[in-house]
Structure 1
Amino acid sequence: MGKRISRREFIKRTSLFAGATLAGGTLFESAAFAIAKPVKIGVLPPSHCALSMVHAHLTGTFKKNGVNAEIAYVPDMKVIAQGLINKDLDAGQLIASSFLALNAGVGPYNGHAVPLVTAQFGGTNGGTVVVRNDSSIKGPQDLAGKKIGVHNPLTVQLLIVKTLLKKYNIDPTKDIQTKIMPMSELVGALQRGEIDCFINPEPLATIAKASGAGKDMMLTARIWYKHPCCLVTMRRDLFEKNQEMARSLYLSTLQSGIELNNGASRQGAIEKIHKESTPYSKIPLASLKSAFAVDRSDFDPFPYQSSATVMLGMMMESRALPEGTNIGKMVSDCFLSDFSRKLHTALGHTAPKENTRQEKIASILQDPV
């Protein structure tokens, strides 16, 4: 994470971004007539993992459930993490592996551990490895010696690809070069030849294809089907102090997540978001629907603890987590699967009976919890 962002700098960054994207230049989109204390939720548009929160706001679901939600559109995932550290944000979208690192206070969050919880996968699948149209890279076996662009060193999709590379006897610590850059610069860097490919969640891959800058080489869903991308995250202290609000917030985002994950209702939901949310409206609707197509980018919301265990194992292998970390305790403390199941039931939706499932990466069954 580097230098810690002050509260004043956090407000400055979100204000500048919001001024460019939100009608009227206000920092937060407020739920009109809500009487409850505002709950500030940070999201990174136009990602698919933000959609359940954005949709719950636009449809009035937060308001209906008594949540005075203020949605902050921010330009970088680091701003959400810093907002949670500083308590400028109460909840938000966070990369699953960043969520785990921030809980543990390791990696870029060394010394800044913040207890967080989640009751929902914000998005599943959604990652793509994109190469130039004239690239000689045809498959993962061709990535040895290549420069790979990513917007965050902890992005789940990078960890997944690194795991796959080992099947091809490629050592991700020595045989590839990872270049970290803002998400907005990845397509340009690919075009200029500064990187050989990039790994990123949608809709960036679809944008690159539409502009002629690149093409799909591989979907991360083909490596680990229904893998989590980002989580709907809340500070543990807020969750414990105001459980009724937390329940109402997750009821709202789960309802939207379930609707988005349903192929029959997804298109209408995307059309509404495209029409009413400025960052998403800047992308052609056809491209947005293509990027968020079923099995390409999904929203299966149940927070499987087995997925968290697999991610922690990958983080440990990538040296992003110290050996000896109590993985079982971290998972049970952070991933509120039982709580999520009760909310699914309250919504009339059938949730998985177990908190774990078989997890396969590159056709290899992972160790059980």
Structure 2
Amino acid sequence: MGRRRLLQLAGLATASTAVAGLAGCGTSTSTSEPADNTPLTIGYVPIACSAPIAIADALGLFEKHGVNVALKKFSGWADLWTAYATEQLDVAHMLSPMTVAIDAGVTNAARPTELSFTQNTNGQAITLASKHYGSVKSPEDFKGMVLGIPFEYSVHALLLRDYLAAHGVNPVSDLELRLLRPADMVAQLAVEGIDGFIGPEPFNERAIKSGSGKIWVQTKQLWDKHPCCSVAMAKEWKAEHSTAAQGVVRALEEAAAILSTPAQFDASAKTLAQEKYLNQPPELLDGPFSGVYQDWHGQTHTDLDRMSFGDPTDPAAIVWMATQIARWGLGGDTLTMDDSTIIAAAESVLVPGLEVTSDHLSINGVDFDPLAPTRGYDHMDSVIFR
């Protein structure tokens, strides 16, 4: 029985109880401590990965767990990154590698940060323009293309680089990776400004529905159960607001259980479709939630783990991300290709009690050992392109 199916069964009662009891929950809290009524602004980017934040807000789950939350929408990651780095936000939706980069201070933006909750695993795809159907047979055919990525410190950018390198394509000199806000990716595809993109839902679905693109591969097929988005907290804020921090996480856990429950898919999609959340037609979320998708050749598949919510944070995955930041020269002088440096950077963002273990990962067909993260990347000319 798959992990998502277990979550669905386990979460069904929780979800039903949560939805049914919202009318009477008022401002009750889940702890005996007084609620912290100081307004907390949580920044987010309107993509399907942010669903736990949006559902928690829509169903009053933050209030239920004693936190006064206001959401602030950002159109792209650069703006959110700046707002968080300049302390306009203390809690934010982040791409998981962003937490490592900003905590380690690999750029001028540095702030001690904890990855407090993994919002989703899987749920991304590489989508190519429909005009390439029939001519693109393998990743080697990506040479010369312009591909959109949402942010440098994203699992998208890191996984795509690794995928290309694994197939002998230099992601620096053989093609162009162009930073684009998720909302701009399909528009750029339609006007032939790019040849494809690696990005979140519902934009892969939108490309298919508009006829401008086709899914080349689900990122799940490159790395199953890979984390994508998280909720990050500034460490100094969490230390001063431990009750509120706990309430935020509990609300997100409850929202993730609802999102993992098939009986709630339609209601969740309609809630997320609202202008104040994703502002997208609910039918574009049907596939990501139900697991149904069309492959490059137009064949329909159902994969219940196409997109999952609320999986435990995987320390090994964070080590891999830190390794790739160093590998592609994105870590400056701070995060370099040194095992102890990389492991320390990953451990620094983990919640207390989580530790890096010897559990290996399989990513793009390669075995990754989190305790020896630079192993296998020592052939600089053939493996590391800068």
- Equivalent of 2:309, from 285, 299, 305? 299
Q: Indicate the residue corresponding to 2:130 in structure 1.
A: 133
Secondary structure in 2 matching 1:36: strand
Shift of 1:78: 1.8
Letter in 2 for 1:48: A
Q: Deviations over 1:129-187 (max 9, x none)?
A: 11122212233222122211223222211211211222221122221211223333222
Report matched runs for 1:329-348 at 5 Å: 329-336=344-351, 338=353
Determine whether 1:182 maps to 2:181: yes
Is the CA contact 2:126–2:216 (under 8 Å) kept in the aligned structure 1?
yes
- CA offsets, 1:264-319, max 9 Å, x none? 35514523523655343x42222211133332222143111111001111111111
> Aligned residue for 2:74?
74
AA of the residue aligned to 2:271: I
Aligned to 1:346: none
Partner of 2:43: 42
Partner of 1:264: 262
Runs of 4+ in 1 over 6 A off after TM superposition: 31-35, 353-356
Q: Equivalent of 1:363, from 362, 365, 372?
A: 365
Residue 363 of structure 1, CA deviation: 2.3
Please state how far the C-alpha of 1:91 moved relative to its aligned partner: 0.5
Q: Deviations over 1:302-339 (max 9, x none)?
A: 11111100111111111111314722222222111637
Which of 277, 284, 289 is the aligned partner of 1:287?
Answer: 284
Structure 1 residue 317 and structure 2 residue 327: aligned? yes
- The offset of 1:213, in angstroms, is 0.9
Say whether residues 1:326 and 2:341 are aligned partners. Answer: yes
3-state SS, counterpart of residue 231 of structure 2: strand
Q: 1:152 and 2:177 equivalent?
A: no
Report if the CA contact (8 A) 1:304-1:357 is conserved: no
Give the AA of the match of 1:267.
F
Instruction: Please tell me the root mean square deviation across aligned C-alpha atoms, in Å.
Output: 2.4
* Structure exhibiting the larger radius of gyration computed from Cα positions: 2
Matched, 1:58 2:48: no
Tell me how far apart the structure 2 counterparts of residues 232 and 70 of structure 1 sit (CA, whole Å): 15
**Change in 2 beyond 3 A, CA 1:161/1:79:** same
- Structure 1 residue 198: deviation in Å? 1.1
8 Å Cα contact 1:128-1:199 kept in structure 2: yes
Q: Which residue of 2 aligns with 1:26?
A: none
What is the letter of the counterpart of residue 345 of structure 2?
M
Change (3 A) 1:141 1:266: farther
The whole-number CA distance in structure 1 between the counterparts of 2:233 and 2:116 is: 9
CA distance in 1, matches of 2:273, 2:213: 27
Count of aligned residue pairs for this structure pair: 320
Output the CA distance in 1 between the equivalents of 2:179 and 2:77. 13
**Which deviates more, 121-130 or 132-141?**
132-141
CA distance in 2, matches of 1:173, 1:32: 54
Amino acid at match of 1:271: A
Q: 1: CA distance between counterparts of 2:104 and 2:42?
A: 22
**Per the alignment, in what secondary structure is the counterpart of residue 131 of structure 2?**
coil
Aligned to 2:299: none
Separation in structure 1 between the aligned mates of residue 366 and residue 255 of structure 2, nearest angstrom? 32
- Mapped partners of 1:172, 1:65: distance in 2: 45
Number of the residue aligned with 1:164: 163
Asked whether the 8 Å contact 2:164–2:171 carries over to 1, the reply is yes
Query: 8 Å contact 1:138–1:217 — kept in the other structure?
Result: no
| Structure 1 Cα separation of the partners of residues 224 and 172 of structure 2 | 24
Q: CA deviation at 1:354?
A: 8.6
Q: Unpaired runs of 5+ in structure 2? A: 1-24, 28-34, 292-303, 372-386
Q: TM-score, normalised by structure 1?
A: 0.80
Paired residue for 1:117?
A: 114
Change (3 A) 1:212 1:79: same
Change (3 A) 1:35 1:105: closer
Task: Give the counterpart letter for 2:269 in structure 1.
Answer: E
Q: Give the conservation status (yes or no) of the 8 Å contact 2:111–2:234.
A: yes
Alpha-carbon distance in 1 for matches of 2:253, 2:191: 41
Q: Which amino acid aligns with 2:109?
A: H
* CA gap 1:65/1:289 in 2 versus in 1, 3 angstroms: same
Q: Deviations over 1:13-56 (max 9, x none)?
A: xxxxxxxxxxxxxxxxxx997871111100111x1221111111
